Chain A
Amino acid sequence: MRIACPFCGERENGEFTYLGDASPKRPNFAVDSGESPEGVEDAFYDYVYLRDNVAGYMREYWYHGGGCRSWLIAERNTVTHEFRSVTAAPGVGAAKPVQAGE
């Protein structure tokens, strides 16, 4: 498995650290404060513990610790290990995802 970092080019995956599924969104207390405490608790339970555990293409966070030290979002097939895209994660050095070559 080689990962095409948008900043460093194609590198072997030993340079990267894996965080996991990029889809879950941390519940926002300010937004959820109108809801019941159980509602907020349920949202956090879902966020912390439950996983879609996708078989197929999944958006996931990788950290390029052995290179540019950027957080990246990759679309990778969990069944075949094929990558469809690798972009910089928004909010960490980029306002929107950055494609390779931009």
Chain B
Amino acid sequence: MKYSIFSLAKAALSGHKGWTRAWRDPAPKSHYDVIIIGGGGHGLATAYFLANEYGIRNVAVLEKGWIGSGNAGRNTTIIRSNYGLPGNTGFYEMSMKLWERMEQDLNYNAMVSQRGIINLYHSDAQRDAFARRGNTMRINGIDAELLDAAQIRKELPFLNYDSPRFPIMGGLMQRRGGTARHDAVVWGYARAADQRGVDIIQNCEVTGFVRDHNGKVTGVETSRGKISAGKVGMAVAGNTSRVAAMAGMKLPIESHVLQAFVSEAIKPLIPGVITFGAGHFYISQSDKGGLVFGGDLDGYNSYAQRGNMPVVEDVCEGGMAVMPMIGRVRMLRQWGGIMDMSMDGTPIIDKTPIDGLYLNAGWCYGGFKATPASGLVFAHLLARDEPHPEAARFRLDRFRRGAMIDEKGQGAQPNLH
């Protein structure tokens, strides 16, 4: 069923009884050309691109719960491509271009809203660093504007400009950045992949890998039986180490919890995304009206999908410092997601040392914005057995070679990235 103004009008006139389910609920077959472990945004996007761009349609996406129940449903929905290091700039800009045409490609309203993202600066040194990043972005064909305090004040009059500790001197604006509806991204890719023949199998937990006598991965053991596969791709960020351990792999990844918050819904207030990096705080407003905000990792290894009070306090203090009016709204919900923190803050998309097993991992707290590009480059890797040009630096062996992509310059201490 193609969604359009006509299908909507037709369904409206028939009391909305004509809608059909958006994807099938198939039983697993005994063999697939490619199995993707993980029915989040990245896994479903990979399946979509495998079927749509690379002609591989005998594909299954295995999800232990329901699709989008992990980090795809727990992020703060921000899309941006304001990166400064080679490897990241091209990749995230490719992702941004895919966001810009996603709804037409998928025939699905993902509520992609390019409302702009601004990173505030508070000192000469920070301004210089942002000017440099903005120039790097522009050289790479990405939009960036360095704004001074007066220009920001026109757009965001409600911020605290005269804080003695962090006076707002200006900010780096990417107007093409913004937000998208995270669940709709999952559903859109699921529906589009399903229409192209992909089997989406929910409540199917992978419990082990099937290996042949050479050690090659030839399938997976699941809670719904054994399924054989030509190739197996992992897209299970948050739980990558646990799944990799089933294949005997130890990876440069730690799992950490990141919390996010939403307030009660209020009338339109914040036009775009505001980041107050110096105070570990960022905020945007959803179309429903809630203020969506967050801050830093809790800082300790965790698989718990919930955090602790010190970070709640820290985030709220950051909010009060940069935007004092936030004290007037009540916090509605708060939750935690498990981040695949890599040793340099950058993802890993590569073949593994094990034949037949492919890795898409290490997204840290930046996986949502990468969803379309991650799917495209992982599909490319699975289909062609070579990295996509835009992901050629995201190799697993880069730590061994000393070719890290450390955007924050923090070193191998993942809780500080």
Known: A12-B310, A13-B308, A79-B304. A20 touches B399 (CB 8 A): no
- Contact across chains for A60 and B300 when beta carbons are under 8 A apart: yes
- Contact across chains for A1 and B308 when beta carbons are under 8 A apart: yes
- Contact across chains for B241 and A45 when beta carbons are under 8 A apart: no
Stretch of B76-84, B247-255, B322-330 contacting A (4+ beta carbons < 8 Å): B247-255
- Contact across chains for A51 and B254 when beta carbons are under 8 A apart: yes
B343 — which chain A residues lie within 8 A by C-beta? 48-49
- Contact across chains for B304 and A78 when beta carbons are under 8 A apart: yes
- Contact across chains for B252 and A49 when beta carbons are under 8 A apart: yes
Size bracket, chain B contacts: 20 to 34
The reply to whether the CB of A80 lies closer than 8 angstroms to some CB of chain B is yes
- Contact across chains for A49 and B299 when beta carbons are under 8 A apart: no
**Which listed residue (B301, B308, B399, B412) contacts A53, Cβ 8 A?**
B301
Of A14, A54, A78, A80, the most chain B CB neighbours within 10 A belong to: A78
Of B239, B255, B303, the most chain A CB neighbours within 10 A belong to: B303
- Bound together, the chains give a CA A51 to CA B302 distance in angstroms of 13
The reply to whether the CB of A58 lies closer than 8 angstroms to some CB of chain B is yes
B310 — which chain A residues lie within 8 A by C-beta? 12-14
- Bound together, the chains give a CA A76 to CA B255 distance in angstroms of 14
The reply to whether the CB of B212 lies closer than 8 angstroms to some CB of chain A is no
Indicate with 1 or 0, residue by residue over A1-43, a CB within 8 angstroms of chain B CB atoms. Answer: 1000000000011100110110000000000000000000000
Q: Which of B20-41 contact A (CB under 8 A)?
A: none
Indicate with 1 or 0, residue by residue over B223-252, a CB within 8 angstroms of chain A CB atoms. Answer: 000000000000000010110000000111
The reply to whether the CB of A84 lies closer than 8 angstroms to some CB of chain B is no
- Contact across chains for B301 and A20 when beta carbons are under 8 A apart: yes
A-B CB pair tally, cutoff 8 Å? 68
- Contact across chains for B303 and A50 when beta carbons are under 8 A apart: no
Q: Which of A53-97 contact B (CB under 8 A)?
A: 53-55, 58, 60, 76, 78-81
B415 — which chain A residues lie within 8 A by C-beta? 18, 20
CB distance from B92 to the nearest CB of A (A): 24
- Bound together, the chains give a CA A12 to CA B313 distance in angstroms of 13
- Contact across chains for A18 and B300 when beta carbons are under 8 A apart: yes
The reply to whether the CB of B17 lies closer than 8 angstroms to some CB of chain A is no
- Bound together, the chains give a CA A51 to CA B242 distance in angstroms of 11
- Bound together, the chains give a CA A102 to CA B252 distance in angstroms of 38
Q: Tell me whether chain B's interface is mostly helix, strand or loop, or mixed.
A: mixed
The reply to whether the CB of B309 lies closer than 8 angstroms to some CB of chain A is yes
A46 — which chain B residues lie within 8 A by C-beta? 250
Known: A79-B304, A80-B304. A51 touches B252 (CB 8 A): yes
CB distance from A53 to the nearest CB of B (A): 4
- Contact across chains for B313 and A14 when beta carbons are under 8 A apart: yes
- Bound together, the chains give a CA A51 to CA B250 distance in angstroms of 6
**Which listed residue (A20, A58, A81) contacts B304, Cβ 8 A?**
A81
- Contact across chains for B399 and A78 when beta carbons are under 8 A apart: no
**Which listed residue (A45, A48, A55, A60) contacts B303, Cβ 8 A?**
A55
CB distance from B414 to the nearest CB of A (A): 8
- Contact across chains for A55 and B242 when beta carbons are under 8 A apart: yes
The reply to whether the CB of B400 lies closer than 8 angstroms to some CB of chain A is yes
**Which listed residue (A13, A49, A50, A78) contacts B255, Cβ 8 A?**
A78
Q: Which of B336-351 contact A (CB under 8 A)?
A: 343
B254 — which chain A residues lie within 8 A by C-beta? 20, 51, 53
CB distance from A35 to the nearest CB of B (A): 17
A55 — which chain B residues lie within 8 A by C-beta? 239, 241-242, 255, 303
Known: A50-B250, A50-B252. A78 touches B309 (CB 8 A): no
Q: Which of B269-328 contact A (CB under 8 A)?
A: 299-304, 308-310, 313
CB distance from A31 to the nearest CB of B (A): 22
B300 — which chain A residues lie within 8 A by C-beta? 13, 18, 60, 76
CB distance from B163 to the nearest CB of A (A): 23
A20 — which chain B residues lie within 8 A by C-beta? 254, 301, 413, 415
The 5 residue pairs across chains A and B that have the minimum distance between CB atoms: A14-B310, A53-B241, A49-B399, A49-B252, A18-B300
Can you give 24 contacting A-B residue pairs, CB < 8 Å?
Answer: A13-B308, A17-B299, A18-B299, A18-B415, A20-B254, A20-B301, A20-B413, A46-B250, A48-B412, A49-B252, A49-B400, A51-B250, A51-B251, A51-B252, A51-B253, A53-B241, A53-B242, A54-B301, A55-B239, A55-B242, A60-B301, A78-B302, A80-B304, A81-B302
